[in-house]
Amino acid sequence: MVKLLRPTLKAAAYAATAALAPMLMRGLPGSRLLILTYHRVLPPTHPAREYEEQGMMVSAQNLEMHLRLIGGYATFMHLDDWLDQRDAGATLPRLTCAVTFDDGWSDNYHHAFAVLQRLQIPATIFLATARIGTVLGFWPTTLGRLLLEAWQQDNHALLEALADRLPLIRWPKSVLITARRAVAYEVIDQLKKYYLDQDIDAALTLLAAAQMRNQQPDLLDWEQVRRMADTGLIKLGSHTRNHRRLNARLGSELLDDEIGISAMEIAGQTGNHPGGFCYPNGDASSEALHKVRKTYRYSVLNTPGINPLGVEPHGLKRIGLHDGSGATVNTVLGRLACAYLGVGN
Ligand SMILES: [Zn+2]
């Protein structure tokens, strides 16, 4: 019930505040930085929409609608260019918008890049570098796909194998069609609570390999990354190597690998050291924060909000837009107004 109520309240908050957005964006004194977060950019009928989390997906049409709408109020700029100009004491626009994509999905190349080129809008893609150019993907996507297939095909052997390898949570054997997505998300949430990402990865790798044999890679390859970076429109940042959550349970050695080696891989593949870092799941232990500060110019979190001119470059706030939170002009405006007002996010 709480889960049902919250989106309704959010929708009500967006509807009530949408009218305030133009006034806030044009009228407030000072300069601000709005950072948008996207993940996957998928056509409305793409098969991945069956198993991917709703908050991960936007259509190219909605992406273009968001950017054209926000372009009426904001100047688009690369995140590190805004920081450079801010630090040099330059006069900045009242509202600057920096566009970011998390993870490094191949659909960013196939569907988002054309929109960004057509509108000449710069963006940063945060890459999980060890996964680029592989069919590995990320465990929540893999597991979502496995679970939906297992329930659809009554594959109890697969569900028992999952329960054997990851026994601390409950694995429902059969689920009504209409509840499958919600139950899959619950299983994923439970796993995040009880297991480390590397243990889940290890448990799923063998099971998933058989199922994924003919799978197309979901993630970018380095050739696609370079083709986008060569235009100057796309910059790369790090999102770790393996998309591990950087909480206190991850050891120092793995932190160095996920934070430091990731930067070296981007520099080696593109010729440029990445400026920024994005924390998977928004998790950041104090040791991770320290290492990220030493390696990167700036870092972004999943905390919603608009950044003031004097903002500290580590822990920048962002606004996540997807087909749910950005279905119409009014929902986008409401989302922005709520971020300005610090409510409803
Ligand atoms: Zn991510």
Q: pLDDT tens-digit profile of 79-95? A: 999 999 999 999 999 99
Ranges assigned E (strand) in the chain: 32-38, 40-41, 57-58, 75-76, 95-103, 123-127, 234-238, 276-278, 298-300, 307-308, 314-316, 319-320
Query: In angstroms, what is the span from residue 41 Cα to ligand 1's centroid?
Result: 14
Q: What is the 3-state secondary structure (H, E, C) of 102-142?
A: EECEHHHHHHHHHHHHHHCCCEEEEECHHHCCCCCCCHHHH
Q: Kindly give the parts of the chain with pLDDT less than 50.
A: 1-3
Fold designation for 2-134+221-341: TIM Barrel (3.20.20)
Q: Does this model's pTM top 0.85? A: yes
Q: pLDDT tens-digit profile of 282-324? A: 889 999 999 999 999 999 998 999 999 999 999 999 999 999 9
Q: What is the pLDDT of residue 298?
A: 98
Q: What is the pLDDT of residue 2?
A: 41
**216 DSSP 8-state letter:** P
Query: In angstroms, what is the span from residue 239 Cα to ligand 1's centroid?
Result: 7
Q: What is the pLDDT of residue 305?
A: 94
Q: What is the pLDDT of residue 142?
A: 86
Indicate the SS3 state at residue 168. Answer: coil
Q: What is the pLDDT of residue 209?
A: 66
Counting DSSP H helices and E strands in the chain, the numbers are 15, 12
Q: What is the pLDDT of residue 110?
A: 97
Query: In angstroms, what is the span from residue 17 Cα to ligand 1's centroid?
Result: 29
**Diameter of the chain measured on Cα atoms:** 63
What are the start and end residues of each CATH 3.20.20.370 domain in the chain? 2-134+221-341
Query: In angstroms, what is the span from residue 46 Cα to ligand 1's centroid?
Result: 20
Q: What is the pLDDT of residue 145?
A: 87
Rounded to the nearest 10 degrees, how much is the dihedral formed by the CA atoms of 250, 255, 259, 264?
A: -140
Query: In angstroms, what is the span from residue 256 Cα to ligand 1's centroid?
Result: 18
**Using alpha carbons only, what angle is made at residue 244 by residues 240 and 245, rounded to the nearest 5 degrees?**
110
- What are the C-alpha distances in Å from 107 to residues 22, 60, 117, 122, 342? 31, 10, 15, 17, 32
Query: In angstroms, what is the span from residue 16 Cα to ligand 1's centroid?
Result: 31
Q: How far is CA 31 from the centre of its chain?
A: 25
Distance from C-alpha of 21 to C-alpha of 307, rounded to nearest angstrom: 16
Amino acid at 196: L
Contacts of 290 (CB under 8 A, 6+ apart): none
Q: What is the pLDDT of residue 212?
A: 61
Query: In angstroms, what is the span from residue 232 Cα to ligand 1's centroid?
Result: 23
Indicate the SS3 state at residue 337. Answer: helix
Question: Which two tokens mark 153?
Answer: 């095909």
Contacts of 295 (CB under 8 A, 6+ apart): 259, 260, 263, 277
